[in-house]
């Protein structure tokens, strides 16, 4: 049985090379336009400030990404991925951790 990547020919990669930049450009245009339209429809009427251009809206978008979103390193690389954190503990370590938390919380152990 052949893998999916072995079935993909030259046409597939040419289409992908054309589609991805167009999709990125469309996304930048849509998000920039949304930021510009929302800001220009809300803030001038409330605070009496000037409207902004599309390029200024893109600048705000990039600035907010830098300040609030960072550039990300994938899920779990910045901070802790608590959902599966205990999965790499062996049973003895897991029981030791449970006992420590019971002592910290001053609760009686639950029957499992």
10 vs 7: CA distance, rounded Å: 10
Backbone angles phi, psi at 81, to 5 degrees: -100, 90
Is the pTM value of this prediction over 0.75? no
pLDDT per residue as tens digits for the range 81-97 = 555 555 688 888 888 88
Q: What does the domain layout of the chain look like in residue ranges?
A: 11-69
Find the length of the chain.
112
Residue-wise pLDDT for 27-40, tens only, equals 999 999 999 999 99
What does the alpha-carbon distance between residue 41 and residue 47 come to, in Å, rounded to a whole number? 11
Number of DSSP helices (H) and strands (E) in the chain, helices first? 4, 0
* Structure token pair of residue 28: 């930048």
């Amino acid at each position: 049985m052949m893998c999916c990547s072995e079935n993909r020919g030259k046409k597939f990669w040419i289409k992908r090379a054309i589609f991805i930049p167009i999709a990125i450009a469309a996304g930048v245009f849509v998000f920039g336009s949304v930021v510009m339209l929302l800001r220009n429809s809300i803030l001038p009427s409330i605070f009496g400030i000037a409207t902004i251009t599309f390029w200024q809206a893109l600048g705000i978008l990039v600035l907010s990404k830098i300040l609030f979103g960072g550039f990300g390193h994938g899920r779990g690389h910045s901070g802790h991925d608590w959902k599966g954190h205990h999965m790499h503990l062996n049973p003895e370590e897991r029981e030791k951790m449970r006992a420590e938390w019971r002592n910290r919380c001053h609760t009686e152990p639950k029957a499992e």
